[in-house]
Amino acid sequence: MGKKEAKLADIGEFGFIESIREGCLFSPSRLLMGIGDDCAVIGPYEDKVFLITTDLLIQDIHFILTKTTPFHLGRKAMAVNLSDIAAMGGIPLHAFISVAFPRTADLAMVHGLYSGIKLACQTHKVNILGGDTSASPERLFINVAIVGEAPVDEVLYRKGAMPGDGIYVTGTLGDAAGGLKMIRCEATGPPMKASFLVDAHNNPFPFLEAGRLIARSRLAGAMIDISDGLISDLGHVCRASGAGALLDHPSIPLSEELKDLGKINGFDPYELALYGGEDYRLLITVPEEHCIQFEGLFSGGTPCPIHRIGEMTTEMGIRMAMEDGRVRDINLGGFDHFH
Residues in 117-146 at the binding interface with a copy of itself, rule: CB under 8 A: 118, 121-122, 125-139, 141, 143, 145
Residue from 12, 14, 60, 188 touching a copy of itself (CB under 8 A): that is: 60
Does the footprint of a copy of itself cover residue 108 (CB under 8 A)? no
Pick from 6, 64, 292, 322 the residue near a copy of itself by CB under 8 A: 6
Site string for a copy of itself, 283-312 (x = CB under 8 A): ------------------------------
Q: Which amino acid is at 179?
A: G
- Is residue 218 part of the contact set for a copy of itself (CB under 8 A)? no
Site membership for a copy of itself, residue 10 (CB under 8 A): yes
Q: Which of 32, 7, 51, 14 is nearest to 235 (CA)?
A: 14
* CB contact set of 221 (below 8 Å; sequence gap of 6+): 156, 160, 161, 162, 165, 241, 285, 286, 287
Write down the least CB distance from residue 74 to a copy of itself, Å.
12
Closest to a copy of itself by CB, 143 vs 202, is 143
Sole window of 18-26, 69-77, 160-168, 248-256 interacting with a copy of itself (rule: CB under 8 A): 18-26
Using CA atoms, how far residue 252 sits from 56, 118, 177, 235, in Å, is 29, 34, 15, 16
Cβ closest to a copy of itself, residue 34 vs residue 242: 34
Alpha carbons within 13 A on the beta-carbon side of 17? 13
Distance CA 200, CA 180 (A): 9
Strand partners, 96: 130, 145
Examine residue 184 and tell whether it contacts a copy of itself (CB under 8 A): no
Strand order in the sheet with 307-313: 222-225, 282-286, 166-169, 307-313, 244-248, 318-321, 327-329
User: Which CB, 17 or 321, lies closer to a copy of itself?
Assistant: 17
Nearer to a copy of itself, 8 or 327 (CB): 8
66 binds a copy of itself (CB under 8 A): no
Judged by beta carbon, residue 50 or residue 168, the one nearer a copy of itself is: 50
Instruction: State which of positions 239-278 bind a copy of itself (CB under 8 A).
Output: none
Query: Is residue 137 a contact partner of residue 261, using CB atoms and an 8 Å limit?
Result: no
Whether residue 42 contacts residue 52, with contact meaning beta carbons closer than 8 Å, is answered with: yes
315 binds a copy of itself (CB under 8 A): no
Q: How far is the CB of 228 from a copy of itself (least distance, A)?
A: 13
The answer to whether 64 contacts a copy of itself (rule: CB under 8 A) is no
Among the candidate windows 88-96, 166-174, 208-216, 325-333, which touches a copy of itself by CB under 8 A? Answer: 88-96
Judged by CB under 8 A, the stretch of 57-65, 199-207, 253-261, 293-301 that binds a copy of itself is 57-65
> 3-state DSSP call for residue 286?
strand
- Binds a copy of itself (CB under 8 A): choice among 14, 18, 31, 314: 31
User: Does 102 engage in binding with a copy of itself (CB under 8 A)?
Assistant: no
Q: Which residues of 22-53 are buried (b: 16+ CB within 10 A; e: fewer)?
A: eeeeeeeeeebbeeebbbbbbbeeeebbbbbb
Q: Contact 197/182 with Cβ under 8 angstroms?
A: yes
Closest contact distance (angstroms) between CB of 148 and a copy of itself is 11
Instruction: Count the residues of the shown chain that bind a copy of itself, applying the rule CB under 8 A.
Output: 76
Compute the Cα dihedral for 171, 174, 180, 181 and give only its sign: negative
Q: Are 258 and 197 in contact (CB under 8 A)?
A: yes
CB atoms under 10 Å from CB of 234, counted, come to: 27
